[in-house]
Amino acid sequence: MERVAPKRLKDVVIVKLYNYAGLIITSLSALLVIVFMFLAFLRFINVISAGSPADFVTVAILGGTGLYGGYNLFRERRIRKIDDRFPDFIRDLAESKRAGMTFTKAIFVASKGNYGALTPEIRLMARQISWGESVTDALSALARRVNTPLVKRTVTLIIEASKGGGATADVLMAAAKDAREMKFLQSERKAGMFSYVMIVYIGAITFLAIVVILCSNFLPNLTKGAVALSSGGIGVGASISISDLESIFFWGAMIQSIGSGLVAGVFESGSLVDGTKHVCVLVFITWITFKLLVGI
């Protein structure tokens, strides 16, 4: 039976992790949400006495959005580093082609260079080619793993150039220039949208501050007035409870935090998924503020 070389086995594991990391993290996030929502239900029906239903629901939200948001943030940073060096990789491929190398040889030469976070991807691609995969399949696998518009667009150009033959070096050089310009536009867009993300945070925190002031100052006076009216023979406000009103304000603030976080993600990158990390931050701020200042 053929033995698998340690390096090859390691690369196979890396490929599998790339393919299933998102699914694993999503499953763990969903599991956390289910567990703590179940605990919230048990607390609601008084099967357990620790904590409160609001605490368990909050931890469920924080666990789900925090785990997935943290994974997504790590992935974004890694992809950003890859995108930064990808045009250099394409440029070097073009120079190797101009020197008379084949695509396969050019990739092998590039795999010996240093491209930062992109280096492991290039080396993995070179090993896949050495195992017998075509250059087209290896490039397509790279695009699927990294999964960014810049890489997918550029890889498509490279694949078409490799199929068409001719002056592929010129096509590669043009692709490198296009990738660099696209990266610049993405950076400009993100910098421009940062102010909108800050506006969302300011709006969410302002709303939270107003709600806390209402709970701390307005509600006690309101309930005192209602009790006075009730004792004076006017049948209003007899069922008013501060804790009930505080709970309504709390859940209103939580819903507003979740919505604001998702909107911040859309402003930042155009995706609701990228709003999970903002949801985690805003929900935590809301929860800890109510715990410390309102005592819910």
From residue 146, alpha-carbon distances to 42, 83, 141, 194 in Å are 42, 9, 9, 24
At residue 226, the pLDDT reads 54
What 8-state DSSP symbol labels residue 232? T
Query: What pLDDT, in 10s, does the model give residues 20-52?
Result: 777 888 899 999 999 999 999 998 898 888 888
| Selected residue with higher pLDDT from 159 and 202 | 202
| Selected residue with higher pLDDT from 226 and 215 | 215
Question: What sign does the CA torsion over 123, 129, 131, 134 have?
Answer: positive
Element counts in the chain: helices (H) and strands (E): 10, 0
- CA nearest to 279, candidates 93, 4, 67: 67
d(CA 287, CA 54): 9
Query: What pLDDT, in 10s, does the model give residues 153-178?
Result: 888 877 877 676 656 777 788 888 88
Is pLDDT at 128 greater than 50 in this prediction? yes
Give residue 97's Cα distance to chain centre.
37
At residue 1, the pLDDT reads 38
Determine if the pTM surpasses 0.85.
no
What is the band of 151 on the pLDDT scale with cuts at 50, 70, 90?
A: confident
Averaged pLDDT of the chain: 82
Top mean-pLDDT range of 43-47, 84-88, 92-96, 198-202:
198-202
The predicted model gives 129-143 an average pLDDT of 84
Number of neighbouring beta carbons within 10 Å of residue 248:
12
Q: Which residues of 195-226 are buried (b: 16+ CB within 10 A; e: fewer)?
A: eebeebbeebbebbeebbeebeeebeeebeeb
What is the band of 6 on the pLDDT scale with cuts at 50, 70, 90?
A: low
At residue 164, the pLDDT reads 64
Is pLDDT at 254 greater than 90 in this prediction? yes
Is pLDDT at 134 greater than 50 in this prediction? yes
